[in-house]
Structure 1
Amino acid sequence: MTGTSREIVERMLRAGREQDTETFVGLMAPEGYLEWPYRPAGVPARLQGHAEIRRFLTEAAKGFIRFDEYRNVVLHETTDPEVIIVEYEAHGTVIATGAPFEQTVIAVFRVRNGQVLSYRDYINPLPLAEALASVSDATHGSRGMAQLD
């Protein structure tokens, strides 16, 4: 896939919002990784390679939250042409409960030769933990955390 680092990141964000797993995975380098340095229990720290990322997106994450829109998206191009930093607010719905979901995100992408080598997603873990707990409560009738992995 070709394009500037900024264009690749814009495609990646769109694929994530639309839950287009194949486009998302196709934008990743074969050895690329997705990681969440700050995350609640049950969310993996790192996913690497097409197969692992695809499995997570299709089996665990898809159907958990539907993203309706990303607001206040700001892309920062850095002095390193491979690195793009993105800030945005994700708005959507927790599918199992119908509850609204809002998340503030800062993500750091490294793009080389039209593919994402790394996608570090610095999410606010609190909304995700609350959503996981609400789904666990709805499906298990307890206060335990649902597992995404």
Structure 2
Amino acid sequence: MTITSREIVERMLRAGRELDIETFLGLMAPDGYLEWPFRPPGVPARVQGHTEIRRHLTGAARAFIRFDEYRDVVVHETIDPEVIIVEYEAHGTVVTTGAPFQQMVIAVFRVRNGQILSYRDYINPLPLVEALPDMTSPARAGA
């Protein structure tokens, strides 16, 4: 049975929310990348390849926000069978303070031969800046 691009993306979202790094990496192409076109200072624009993605997920992703659930998930399949667009509201907790966190997300995936080539995460950086003010400090921003 052939798995669809939509199913790959749904698995990726679940793996990301659950911090299942091995499943996440297994869904990524070896040279695939995660990209954040809109981000606060100190957050990389792109991480590419399994080694960089693993480092990012085990470090920064665990240290800032823990996502508990995604609400109002809408998956858009496009004319291009490789491209899937997902809209959702992420709800979680700020790891350092325990404060609640929520953010609207639009993500664009490119899937080919059962692997994710690119995952562009169009997040609103303002909730991150508000929740994690030390991210924009001069010491952190220069990191």
TM-score exceeds 0.5 = yes
> Deviation at 1:144?
2.3
**Paired residue secondary structure (1:75):** strand
Q: For 2:36, give the aligned amino acid.
A: W
1:127 is aligned to 127
Which stretches of structure 1, 4 residues or more, deviate above 3 A after TM superposition?
145-149
Is the contact between residue 73 and residue 87 of structure 1 (CA under 8 Å) also seen in structure 2?
yes
TM-score by length of 1: 0.89
| Alignment size in residue pairs | 141
Structure 2 distance, partners of 1:147, 1:21, is 25
1:144 is aligned to 137
Name the Cα RMSD after superposition: 1.8
61-70 vs 77-86, which moves further: 61-70
- Residues 81-131 of structure 1, C-alpha deviations (whole Å, 9 max, x = no match): 000000000000001101111010000000001100000000011011122
60-69 vs 107-116, which moves further: 60-69
Task: Give the fraction of aligned pairs with identical amino acids, expressed as a percent.
Answer: 78
TM-score by length of 2: 0.92
Compared with structure 1, are the counterparts of its residues 35 and 146 closer, same or farther at alpha carbon in structure 2 (3 Å cutoff)?
farther
1:39 is aligned to 39
2:11 is aligned to 11
1:102 is aligned to 102
**Paired residue secondary structure (1:116):** strand
Q: For 1:54, give the aligned amino acid.
A: R
1:54 is aligned to 54
